[in-house]
Amino acid sequence: MESGCVSVGGRRDRRRSGDHRPYPRAQKRIVSDIHPSAIVDPAAHIAGNVRIGPGAVVGAGVSLGEGCELGAHTVIEGSSRIGPGCRIFHGAVIGTEGQHTNIEGAEGGVEIGAGTVIREMATVHRSIEEGGLTQIGEKCYLMVQAHVAHDCTLGDEVILTNATTLGGYVEIGDRAFVTGFVGIHQFIRIGEGVMLTGPAAVRKDVPPFTMTDGNPPKVRSLNLVGMRRSGISSQVRGHLKEAYRIVFEDSKSVEEALARIEAEIPAGREVRSVVDFVRSSKRGIYRGGDRPPPPEVSE
C-alpha cells in the first residue's frame, strides 16, 4: 500500500488560525505495516514507517507522522495531526467531538507533538471552536484512561497518570506531572514544572514549580527535584523560594506581593513566569498548606 509521506515538523500554535492542513507531502514511500482489518480513509495522510494495528480506524482528516504506531482498535477522527514517533495504544480515541451540549457549526482539530505516548483507552477530544485546536506538546505521556477535553493545551513533556480528567480549555505548562484520579475544572491552569497529586478536585490555578496535593489542594513546597532535573540552578531555586515566601506569607494582597517580587528579586525567566502566572489568574491560585518545605539538597 502506498500513501503520501508527510514531513512533520515541530509543534506550532494554530489555535485560532483555522489552518488544519495536513503536514506537507513529500516523496511516496511504502507504509511498513497496516493490518488488513484496519480502516484507513484514502484521504488520510500517512507517513512512512507507520504501523497501524488490527481494527484501528483512521479518518479522512488525519495526518500521521513518520514512525507512528497505532495499537489495536484505536480511533483517530476529525482534523487530527499526529507528530512523528508517537505511540498510541489499544483502544485510545483521538479527535472525536467534544462533550458539549451546544456545539454549532464548524469545529477545530487536534495537534499532538512528536514522541508523545498515549496509552490504552485514553481520550482526546477536538476543539469545539472553528479554527481551534486541542494541543498536546512533544514527548508527553498520557496513561491509561486519561481524558483531555476540547480546547485543552498541554506543553512539552507533560505526564498525566491513570484516570486524570481535564475539563475544557485547561492549560498545563511544560514538564508538569499530574497523578491519577485528579479532576481539573474547565479553564484551570496548571503551571510549568508542577507536581500535582491526587485524588483531588482542582478548581483554582496551580502556580508554577510547586508541589501541590490534598483535597482541596494546597501548595506544600517547591518541586525541587523537578527543578533540578530541568536544569534550574540552585540560585534560581532560591529566588523562587523567596518569591513564594512573599506571596504566601509576607504580603497582605497579591498585588502587593507581586510588586515586592519585582522590586526585590532578580527577574529571571522562572521568577517572571511566576509573577505573570499569578497576575493573570482569573480563578485565583492555591496557597500554602501546613507542611514545612523540604530542605534544599546540595548538588
**Catalytic entry in 53, 71, 85, 151:** 151
> Rounded distance, CA 161 to CA 226, Å?
16
Q: What is the DSSP letter of 271?
A: H
Report in angstroms the alpha-carbon separations of 249 from 241, 242, 274, 293. Answer: 11, 10, 16, 13
> Rounded distance, CA 150 to CA 198, Å?
22
Q: What is the DSSP letter of 285?
A: B
**Catalytic entry in 168, 173, 183, 191:** 168
What residue type is 52 in one-letter code? I
> Rounded distance, CA 62 to CA 187, Å?
27
**Is position 151 annotated as part of the catalytic site?**
yes
Residues 56/70, Cβ–Cβ less than 8 Å: yes
**Catalytic entry in 132, 150, 193, 239:** 150
- Look at residues 195, 220, 219 and name the one whose alpha carbon lies nearest to residue 292: 220
**Is position 113 annotated as part of the catalytic site?**
no
**Is position 168 annotated as part of the catalytic site?**
yes
Catalytic amino acids? 150-151, 168
